[in-house]
Chains A and B, each alone.
Chain A
């Protein structure tokens, strides 16, 4: 049975840039454990001769021709942005946090 520790939840939260309180660490650890346990049951029916799949359909080699298609204008691209500057997406400073 999979177990997940508070420390692992804290680590995942840091990777995902999520602020998680001490209480939430306990809450999420127990909730994630339920999820992992449920998903792990798939492994009980998957015998060794069944290869893992990454895709629901058995297709290979689906390609697109190298031909340009119209995309978004700059205005459209930025229309959902929280903040913009000089035609670019503006984000808070990046590395200082870690």
Chain B
């Protein structure tokens, strides 16, 4: 069933949107939040489990200290205050994704509160999103619904549970209501999630892969009549698994709610499911009320009471944050506002900076990411950061070109090999024999052959037309599959002709 949609411009004429974004981030700790099971994605089902995360009787949780520090660092980077004292609570519910029958989560005592994140929009303006809280919790197990269409829960005959993910440390970052966004609401939602992703990546606390679920966004959307200051009823759209989907989901909900309200209907407070393929949302379960979760303080864990000294020590560990990096890149690389914005919008800035940090000159680093690698994202339909190549690997390729070990053409083949997951750049070079041939014996033979095949060109060069040497160089490059050192070939051509 397709919902009626109001034209976007009409929505904006009649309503003001209010957004609330909840982003869940899995921490990349070595172990889970409350037990020593490994926190690794993609292993066989139920192989990273123990009595604690399976909720077996008598098993007790012990909090992962690194996860707590990551939570505090995230809070500090978001300009939050760190709570001097806080606890975990039990969120009780009966659903097989949590075998304990409760999720251990922070409730009314989050570790970080009242922050902000400045978000840059595509026109260069900055919108500041107020952060309500960042709190710690644990991820749930993964359900596989069998027997229905497309693995959806509706119509499934039964479900299968894998608890490898149950207990993985999770940080939930919640915004305050975002008002005054108007027509830019969908863009702000996307820009906020992007900025948060970049921040978390800079902190090194998560691999922030939306495609693998290590970063997930729930988008709360409501409309209020223009001029009103009373929020409308909101819906919460889940399963928004890419930056583009965040934008689409918000826009879709605005248009759907506009149509419902205009026809005299009421918005039902509910969880909605985002359909990636159609770009639409559909009704999910009615939310249980907060009371139904019967939260109470977790008696198996002691409170957390971060001292000022601890907080200050963690503050000192904060790396250069994305907006600081942007300011530095602009001055150090001599970029115009527009150039900087293009790099930021392409998601290339941090990657270039990391490539520079790995030893590459800024100009080469920029060139690789904005041209060749950007082309690869287009053909693959992924974000730049999701390409299976790291800044360090790009820096290595650049270094090999600088050493003369690779030509630009060979370098692209090496990058292709890395993207095809064939290994590190040096391994790809070795496996495919892609190194530049500078060996005079081999090159001389190739040059002699090329000269013999084109005696007229050889004569031209002898007659002083040095530009004609290019044709011979080209022939040698072709004969060697692009692996010859072009400069050396040119020297050999001139030497042999005049000999």
List the interface of chain A (C-beta within 8 A of B).
15-17, 54-55, 57, 59-69, 71-74, 77-78, 85-96, 98
Q: Which residues of A contact B62 (CB under 8 A)?
A: 62-64
Whether B302 lies near A94 (C-beta < 8 A) is no
Whether A89 lies near B49 (C-beta < 8 A) is no
Given known contacts A71-B50, A72-B49, is B66 in contact with A66 (CB within 8 Å)? yes
User: Looking at B49, B63, B143, B147, which has the most chain A CB atoms within 10 Å of its CB?
Assistant: B49
In the complex, whether B358 has a CB less than 8 A from a CB of chain A is no
Bound complex: CA A57 to CA B94 (Å): 30
Sorting the interface of chain B by its residue count into under 10, 10 to 19, 20 to 34 or 35 or more gives 35 or more
Whether A91 lies near B96 (C-beta < 8 A) is yes
Whether A89 lies near B160 (C-beta < 8 A) is yes
Q: Which residues of B contact A92 (CB under 8 A)?
A: 158-159
| Residue contacts A-B, CB under 8 angstroms, 18 given | A54-B296, A54-B299, A55-B297, A59-B302, A62-B63, A66-B64, A66-B66, A67-B36, A69-B35, A71-B48, A71-B49, A87-B45, A87-B162, A88-B46, A89-B160, A89-B162, A90-B160, A95-B154
Bound complex: CA A61 to CA B67 (Å): 13
- Please report which residues of chain B, range 298-324, place their CB below 8 angstroms from some CB of chain A when the two chains form the complex: 298-299, 301-306
Of all A-B residue pairs in the complex, the 8 with the closest CB atoms, nearest first, are A69-B36, A63-B65, A54-B297, A71-B50, A88-B160, A66-B66, A60-B305, A89-B161
Q: Which residues of B contact A72 (CB under 8 A)?
A: 49-51, 54
Whether B159 lies near A67 (C-beta < 8 A) is no
Among residues of A, the one whose C-beta sits closest to the C-beta of B304 is: A61
Q: Which residues of B contact A95 (CB under 8 A)?
A: 153-154, 285
- Please report which residues of chain B, range 38-94, place their CB below 8 angstroms from some CB of chain A when the two chains form the complex: 38, 44-51, 53-54, 62-68, 85, 87, 92-94
Given known contacts A60-B305, A63-B62, is B159 in contact with A93 (CB within 8 Å)? yes
Whether B143 lies near A94 (C-beta < 8 A) is yes
In the complex, whether B157 has a CB less than 8 A from a CB of chain A is yes
Whether B50 lies near A88 (C-beta < 8 A) is no
Given known contacts A16-B94, A54-B87, A74-B47, is B303 in contact with A60 (CB within 8 Å)? yes
- Please report which residues of chain B, range 267-295, place their CB below 8 angstroms from some CB of chain A when the two chains form the complex: 285, 288, 292, 294
List the interface of chain B (C-beta within 8 A of A).
29-31, 35-38, 44-51, 53-54, 62-68, 85, 87, 92-96, 143-147, 153-154, 156-163, 285, 288, 292, 294, 296-299, 301-306
Q: Which residues of A contact B162 (CB under 8 A)?
A: 87-89
State which of A15, A57, A60, A65 has its C-beta within 8 Å of the C-beta of B304: A60
Among residues of A, the one whose C-beta sits closest to the C-beta of B99 is: A89
User: Looking at B46, B63, B145, B303, which has the most chain A CB atoms within 10 Å of its CB?
Assistant: B46
State which of A65, A86, A87, A94 has its C-beta within 8 Å of the C-beta of B153: A94
Bound complex: CA A68 to CA B47 (Å): 13
Q: Which residues of B contact A74 (CB under 8 A)?
A: 44-47
State which of B31, B37, B45, B302 has its C-beta within 8 Å of the C-beta of A86: B45
Q: Which residues of A contact B285 (CB under 8 A)?
A: 95, 98
- Closest CB-CB distance, A92 to chain B, in whole Å? 6
What would 19 more interface pairs be, CB under 8 Å, given A55-B301, A87-B44, A87-B46?
A16-B94, A55-B297, A55-B302, A61-B303, A62-B302, A64-B62, A68-B31, A69-B35, A71-B35, A72-B51, A73-B47, A77-B49, A87-B45, A88-B45, A91-B159, A91-B161, A93-B147, A93-B157, A94-B95
Q: Which residues of A contact B64 (CB under 8 A)?
A: 63-64, 66
Q: Which residues of B contact A93 (CB under 8 A)?
A: 145, 147, 153, 156-159
Given known contacts A65-B65, A66-B65, A71-B37, is B144 in contact with A88 (CB within 8 Å)? yes
Bound complex: CA A98 to CA B286 (Å): 9
Q: Which residues of B contact A64 (CB under 8 A)?
A: 31, 36, 62-65
Given known contacts A65-B65, A77-B46, is B160 in contact with A85 (CB within 8 Å)? yes
User: Looking at A68, A69, A96, which has the most chain B CB atoms within 10 Å of its CB?
Assistant: A68
Among residues of A, the one whose C-beta sits closest to the C-beta of B68 is: A63
Bound complex: CA A95 to CA B46 (Å): 23
Given known contacts A87-B45, A88-B45, A98-B285, is B37 in contact with A69 (CB within 8 Å)? yes
Q: Which residues of A contact B46 (CB under 8 A)?
A: 74, 77-78, 87-89
- Closest CB-CB distance, B268 to chain A, in whole Å? 15
